[in-house]
């Protein structure tokens, strides 16, 4: 039996020691177990499948829910020399898909979106190659109690079976007990090893500040950012606010600040991401679209400029700080009014009763000669967002209302309409209660924030780091080196395009001869 | 009110109340169909066509909805769109803020994906070259497209000497072409480039504190259009290394692949009916293809399908009526002339859409 060792780790990846949890998880996988691993963000989940992929016979499949994240992961692995890293998702053209499927081998680490695994041709091609490890990233998406339920995750157990039941590694950063049980049952994990680690990140101190007015909030942000050493992230609730704050921070803190949000071009987003990773930008003001695929060890602070939607979101987003192990801090500035936005987002993510009524009336209309409508079309015509579409199609299917040909079978309808409504009501309540937990944590200035957070995830506080949190009397500045001087702005703002261009092509006099090492 | 709304208002004005909202959306979004091909030149909107190609159709529809909701654009019962009085004065007001940059021509360089092809390959090549020369071996590529990455890999100089030569040539070619632009525009282009020592800047950053990132995007694209126009002038001469980054001629046509296949069969001497059988296509689809082919190939003889006298009749009628609306022409000419004939005649009138500008 192959056992992971420090020498091998050094040899394969150049790391001197395993991080918390890694060795145990890798050993269990190599021993053929299914593993449920709950590891806080930033501790190194990638290695948990990357290491076994070098040892196990067969390729490694990694199910990952976010397309952009997937591409980032592939490029990071490639940059580490993992030549077999590749991704399959709906952005990949048909030709490229064929090429990728044809080139799979034992060294492949294939990232794939759950939707892709619903495609028969894809699974058929995959089952022709041996799968050594079936890893499911962000495994909490399988649970309705998680903060990001993805219906297509529920079909993964079946896919895994088609692939010959390879060992399964379910990975997540945050999972309450309930969510863990869901993961185990829905992925049909057997011979199970659970490696659950505390979500606590002792090197991140947690601070909460209330602002009475927007001006006060802004002032707090400026003061905070001014005193903390970058690089850092500021999470905002809206795209417009991200753009606005970036400008403010440039002016008022003299920092190189950039904005990032889902409304930007893909290339623009990549550029900001790269500037940040390369330390060319100090602060990124962004919506929660930012951060997933970022591998940056030296983030010193994360500011929330609003109340996050759930403790899960909070932990995930603050967890991007201090990945390299250095001391970092999370500062949350909020206003009473902040609660409206997350609450309205919860509502807008779920189908309403009216939409369901509308859907059922569309489902019932049978156009003469055309037969019953297809589920996809009917759903599309009734709701406006993709997440709602996915949810509705999934539950219509669960209710047995969709035939083999994708068309609706109304004879099965029964009382399904009411059940659907109840389901979404319940889901809304659940999400609201997650938000209320977050909110009450934020408003509790007496109890230790760290402890409250850990309690939410069913843990007790075992260590008391210093600095800990604002309730414990620590301020984000008590340990930080106060900034000595402002960064010099973009540094190249005044440079002429001619000299910029000559630097790009290494044409500068003097550099020309000696520039290459 | 940003530049994308202005583009939509401008498009709406030019369509003179003769096209639907979707028609305008398709033009701005650069959908390829015989309808858009025809409309782009009929209404002299080629420079705008495909200017919002980087947005999704839904996004562009969203612009229309916003404009309609704020009463700037109105839709008739038949779905045709027009500017309202407020819309017209808003557009005139915006005209003082926005104008299309001098060298901007979306219909020529965006619609067929030429600018995109060129920029993706060039920017990744430069990033790679600059990084390798700085001794950086692994970096995250600025372009994620597999086809772009593999193109760059295949065309990347392998020896150090070749890399230095490539850098020197690209540097001198870009400096000389960019010098013909204002410093402001040349800067946009250069600051967008990623290299070994810095990542390029986002449009928000390039726009500065007060600028509109979307307008900056348009201005940046006009630099690409300028460079491409320069390179096209001397294409046959092959003067520049930069020409290697251009989309190959055969892939630049706006014609849909399907219409192309129809054309091949027509050139083999097959009749419409035979082609319909071979390709299992409906007559109406083939008619679309023929209209498309007539648009794209000024040399293609439409009288092979319809007598020249009928075509002439339609052309004269269209001119006399001063309209391009099929329905109006059809109503005037009566049942003798079918829609196919009218579309074919209009296609002939306009010929190669590349030849048109504002
Ligand atoms: N054993 C280790 N020793 C040193 N660095 C490690 C080790 N394992 C992972 N890392 C580094 O930690 C960072 C975070 O890893 P990653 O897998 O992206 O974390 P996450 O758990 O958030 O997915 C990466 O930069 C990775 O290279
Ligand atoms: Zn505390």
Nearest CA in chain A to B133: A516
What mean pLDDT do residues B118-132 have?
97
User: Cβ atoms within 10 A of the Cβ of A31, count?
Assistant: 14
Residues of B in contact with A278 (CB under 8 A): 198-199
Is 60 exceeded by the pLDDT of residue A365?
yes
Distances (CA, A) of A345 to A146, A163, A336, A381, A435: 16, 38, 17, 21, 11
What's the average model confidence in pLDDT over A148-160? Answer: 89
Question: The dihedral of CA A52, A55, A58, A59: what is its sign?
Answer: positive
Nearest Cα residue to A438 out of A331, A318, A339, A290: A339
Instruction: State whether A268 and B190 contact (CB < 8 Å).
Output: no
Distance A206 CA to ligand 2 centre (A): 8
Name residue, tokens 């619609």. B111
CB < 8 Å from B in window 90-109 of A: 92-93, 96
In chain B, % of residues over pLDDT 70: 95
Instruction: Note whether A243 contacts B204, CB cutoff 8 Å.
Output: yes
Structure tokens at A252: 């008022």
State the pLDDT confidence band at A512, using cuts at 50, 70 and 90.
Answer: very low
Coil, strand, or helix at residue A283?
Answer: strand
- Residue A513 pLDDT more than 60? no
Average pLDDT of chain B is 89
Count of Cβ atoms closer than 10 Å to residue A186 Cβ = 19
Q: Is the pLDDT of residue A487 over 50?
A: no
From residue A372, give the alpha-carbon distance in Å to each of A177, A366, A380: 42, 5, 15
Whether B198 and A268 lie within 8 Å, measured CB to CB: no
Q: Mean per-residue pLDDT for A272-290?
A: 93
Helix (H, G, I), strand (E, B) or coil at A134: strand
> Mean pLDDT over residues B135-149, rounded?
87
Three-state DSSP class for A266?
Answer: helix
| Cα separation, B211 vs B95, whole angstroms | 16
Question: Could you give the ipTM of this predicted complex?
Answer: 0.79
Q: Does pLDDT of A514 surpass 60?
A: no
- Give the span between the Cα atoms of B11 and A354, in whole angstroms: 37
CB A101 within 8 Å of CB A122: yes
Q: Which residues have CB atoms below 5 A from the ion given as ligand 2? A: A 448, 450, 468-469, 472
Rounded to a whole number of angstroms, the CA Rg of chain B reads 23
- With an 8 Å Cβ cutoff, are B191 and A497 in contact? yes
Q: Which of A204, A447, A202 is nearest to A303 (CA)?
A: A204
Picking from A434, A438, A437, A357, the residue whose alpha carbon sits closest to that of residue A143 is A434
Residue of B134, B190, B202 lying closest to A500 (CB–CB): B190
Give the position, in ligand 1's atom list, of the atom nearest the Cα of A16: 3
By the 8 A CB rule, do A221 and A245 touch? yes
Ligand closest in space to the Cα of A463: 2
- Residues of chain B with Cβ-Cβ distance to A277 below 8 Å are 140
DSSP symbol at B80: B
Ligand 1 pocket by C-beta < 6 Å: which residues?
A: A 15, 18-19, 22, 39, 41-47, 295, 297, 323
Tokens 């109105």 belong to residue: B74
Question: What per-residue confidence (pLDDT) applies to A490?
Answer: 46
**CA B254 to ligand 1 centroid distance, Å:** 47
Q: Cβ contact (<8 Å) for A280 and B198?
A: yes
- Summarised one tens digit per residue, pLDDT across range B181-192 is 999 999 999 999
Least reliable range by pLDDT among A28-32, A220-224, A480-484, B126-130: A480-484
The two structure tokens encoding residue A419: 């059940």
- Report the distance separating Cα A305 and Cα A217, nearest Å: 8
* Start-end of H helices in B134-212: 146-155, 160-179, 183-192, 203-207
Q: Does residue B350 surpass a pLDDT of 70?
A: no
Residue B50: predicted pLDDT = 96
Q: How far apart are CA B167 and CA B135, in angstroms?
A: 14
pLDDT per position as a tens digit, B17-32? 999 999 999 999 998 8
H/E run at residue B275: helix B272-279
Q: What is the 3-state secondary structure (H, E, C) of A368-381?
A: CCCECCEHHHHHHH
Task: Calculate the alpha carbon distances from A61 to A13, A53, A227 in Å.
Answer: 20, 9, 44
CA-based angle A248:A250:A252, to the nearest 5? Answer: 60
The stretch A305-319 carries a mean pLDDT of 93
Q: pLDDT tens for residues A388-408?
A: 888 898 888 888 888 888 888
Could you tell me how many residues make up chain A? Answer: 517
pLDDT for A175-216, tens place per residue?
888 899 999 999 999 999 999 999 999 999 999 999 999 999
B102 phi, psi to nearest 5 deg: -45, -45
* Mean per-residue pLDDT over chain A, rounded: 89
What average pLDDT does the segment B221-232 reach?
96
Identify the closest residue of chain B to A88 by CA–CA distance. Answer: B146
Q: What pLDDT score was predicted for residue B140?
A: 86
Closest CA to A51 of A89, A97, A92, A2: A2
Quote the pLDDT of residue A463: 86
pLDDT: which is higher, B245 or B336:
B245
Could you tell me if B215 and B226 are in contact, meaning their C-beta atoms sit under 8 angstroms apart?
no
- Token representation of residue B296: 């794209």
Which ligand number lies closest to the CA of residue A207?
2
* pLDDT tens figures, A316-343: 999 999 988 889 999 999 999 899 999 9
Q: Which residues of B touch A75 (CB under 8 A)?
A: 140-141, 144
- Report, as an integer, the average pLDDT of B3-18: 96
pLDDT in tens, A2-21: 999 999 999 999 999 999 89
Nearest-Cα distance to chain A for B349, in Å, is 38
Q: Give how far the C-alpha of residue A242 lies from the chain's centroid of Cα atoms, to the nearest Å.
A: 19
DSSP class of residue A2?
-
Q: Going by C-beta distance under 8 Å and a sequence separation of 6 or more, which residues neighbour residue B176?
A: none
At residue A286 the predicted structure's pLDDT band, cuts being 50, 70 and 90, is very high
Q: What's the pLDDT at A68?
A: 75
Give per-residue pLDDT as tens, B249-287.
777 777 777 787 888 888 778 888 888 888 888 888 888
Question: Cα torsion at A383, A387, A390, A396 (round to 10°)?
Answer: -60
Residue A409, C-beta contacts closer than 8 angstroms, at least 6 positions apart:
A372, A400, A401, A402, A403
Residue B198 binned pLDDT confidence (cut-offs 50, 70, 90)? very high
Residues 484-503 of A with CB under 8 A from B: 490, 492, 496-498, 500-503
Ligand nearest to the backbone CA of A200: 2
What does the pLDDT read at residue A331?
Answer: 96
When pLDDT is averaged across residues B310-324 and rounded to a whole number, the result is 86
**Lookup result for tokens 């967002």:** A385
pLDDT of A229 reads 67
Residue B239 CB contacts under 8 Å (≥ 6 apart), including other chains: none
User: What is the per-residue pLDDT for A479?
Assistant: 56
- Do residues A140 and A175 touch, judged by C-beta distance below 8 A? yes
The secondary element (H helix, E strand) that includes residue A330 is: strand A328-334
User: Residue A515's pLDDT is what?
Assistant: 42
Where residue B94 falls among pLDDT bands split at 50, 70, 90? very high
Residue nearest to atom 27 of ligand 1 (CA): A44
> How wide is the angle at C-alpha A423 spanned by C-alphas A422 and A424, nearest 5°?
95
Confidence of residue A70 (pLDDT cuts 50, 70, 90): confident
């Amino acid at each position: 039996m192959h056992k992971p060792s420090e020498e091998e780790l050094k040899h394969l990846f150049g790391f001197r020691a395993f991080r918390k949890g890694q060795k145990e998880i890798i050993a269990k996988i190599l021993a053929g177990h299914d593993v449920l691993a709950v590891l806080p963000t930033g501790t190194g989940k990638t290695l948990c499948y990357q290491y076994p992929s070098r040892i196990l016979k067969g390729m490694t499949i990694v199910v990952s829910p976010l397309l952009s994240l997937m591409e980032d992961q592939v490029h990071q692995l490639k940059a580490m020399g993992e030549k077999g890293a590749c991704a399959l998702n709906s952005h990949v053209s048909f030709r490229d898909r064929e090429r990728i499927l044809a080139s799979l081998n034992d060294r492949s680490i294939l990232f794939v979106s759950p939707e892709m695994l619903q495609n028969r041709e894809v699974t058929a091609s995959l089952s022709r190659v041996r799968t050594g490890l079936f890893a499911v990233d962000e495994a909490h998406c399988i649970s309705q109690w998680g903060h990001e339920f993805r219906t297509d995750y529920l079909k993964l157990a079946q896919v895994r079976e088609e692939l010959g039941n390879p060992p399964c590694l379910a990975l997540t950063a945050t999972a309450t007990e309930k969510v863990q049980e869901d993961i185990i049952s829905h992925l049909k994990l057997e011979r199970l090893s659970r490696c659950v680690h505390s979500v606590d990140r002792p090197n991140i101190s947690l601070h909460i500040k209330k602002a009475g007015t927007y001006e006060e909030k802004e002032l707090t942000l400026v003061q905070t950012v001014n005193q903390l050493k970058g690089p850092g992230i500021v999470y905002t609730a809206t795209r417009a606010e991200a753009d606005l704050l970036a400008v403010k921070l440039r002016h008022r803190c003299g920092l190189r600040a950039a904005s990032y949000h889902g409304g930007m071009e893909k290339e623009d987003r990549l550029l900001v991401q790269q500037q940040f990773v390369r330390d060319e930008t100090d602060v990124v003001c962004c919506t929660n679209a930012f951060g997933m695929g970022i591998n940056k060890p030296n983030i010193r602070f994360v500011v929330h400029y609003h109340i996050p939607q759930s403790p899960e979101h909070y932990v995930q987003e603050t967890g991007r700080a201090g990945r390299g192990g250095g001391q970092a801090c999370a500062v949350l500035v909020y206003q009473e009014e902040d609660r409206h936005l997350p609450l309205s987002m919860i509502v807008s993510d779920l189908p309403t009763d009216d939409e369901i009524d509308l859907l059922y009336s569309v489902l019932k209309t049978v156009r003469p000669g055309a037969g019953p409508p297809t589920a996809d079309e009917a759903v599309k015509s009734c709701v406006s967002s993709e997440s709602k579409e996915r949810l509705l199609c999934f539950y219509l299917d669960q209710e047995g209302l969709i035939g083999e040909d994708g068309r609706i079978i109304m004879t099965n309808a029964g009382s399904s309409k009411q059940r659907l409504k109840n389901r979404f009501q319940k889901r809304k309540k659940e999400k609201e209660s997650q938000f209320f937990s977050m909110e009450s944590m934020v408003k509790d200035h007496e109890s230790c924030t760290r402890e409250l957070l850990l309690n939410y995830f069913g843990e007790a506080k075992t260590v008391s780091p210093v600095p800990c949190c604002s309730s414990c009397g620590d301020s984000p500045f008590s340990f930080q080196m106060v900034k000595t001087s402002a960064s010099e702005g973009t540094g190249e703002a005044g440079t002429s395009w001619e000299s910029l261009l000559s630097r790009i092509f290494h044409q500068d006099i003097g550099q020309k001869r000696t520039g290459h090492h | 009110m940003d530049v994308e709304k202005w583009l939509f208002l401008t498009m709406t004005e030019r369509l003179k109340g003769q096209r639907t909202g979707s028609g305008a959306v398709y033009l701005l979004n650069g959908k390829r169909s015989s309808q858009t091909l025809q409309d782009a030149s009929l209404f002299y909107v080629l420079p705008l066509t495909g200017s919002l190609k980087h947005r999704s159709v839904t996004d562009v529809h969203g612009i229309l909805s916003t404009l309609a909701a704020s009463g700037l654009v109105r839709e008739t019962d038949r779905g045709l769109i027009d500017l309202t009085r407020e819309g017209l004065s808003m557009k005139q007001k915006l005209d003082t803020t926005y104008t299309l940059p001098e060298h901007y021509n979306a219909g020529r360089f965006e619609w067929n994906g030429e600018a995109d092809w060129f920029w993706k390959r060039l920017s990744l090549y430069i990033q790679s070259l600059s990084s390798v020369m700085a001794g950086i071996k692994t970096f995250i590529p600025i372009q994620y497209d597999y086809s772009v990455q593999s193109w760059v890999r295949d065309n990347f100089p392998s020896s150090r000497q070749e890399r230095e030569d490539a850098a020197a040539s690209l540097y001198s070619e870009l400096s000389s072409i960019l010098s013909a632009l204002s410093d402001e525009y040349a800067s946009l282009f250069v600051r967008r480039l990623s290299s070994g020592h810095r990542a390029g800047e986002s449009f928000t950053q390039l726009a500065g504190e007060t600028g509109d990132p979307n307008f900056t995007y348009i201005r940046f694209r006009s630099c690409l259009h300028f460079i491409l126009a320069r390179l096209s002038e001397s294409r046959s001469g092959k003067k520049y290394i930069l020409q290697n980054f251009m989309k190959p001629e055969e892939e630049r046509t706006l014609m849909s692949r399907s219409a192309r296949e129809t054309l091949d069969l027509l050139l083999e001497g097959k009749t419409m009916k035979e082609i319909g059988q071979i390709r299992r296509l409906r007559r109406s689809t083939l008619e679309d293809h023929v209209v498309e082919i007539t648009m794209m190939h000024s040399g293609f003889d439409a009288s092979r399908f319809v007598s020249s006298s009928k075509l002439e009749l339609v052309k004269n009628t269209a001119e006399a009526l001063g309209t391009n609306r099929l329905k109006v022409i059809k109503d005037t000419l009566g049942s003798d002339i079918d829609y196919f004939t009218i579309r074919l005649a209009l296609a002939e009138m306009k010929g190669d859409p590349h030849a048109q500008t504002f």
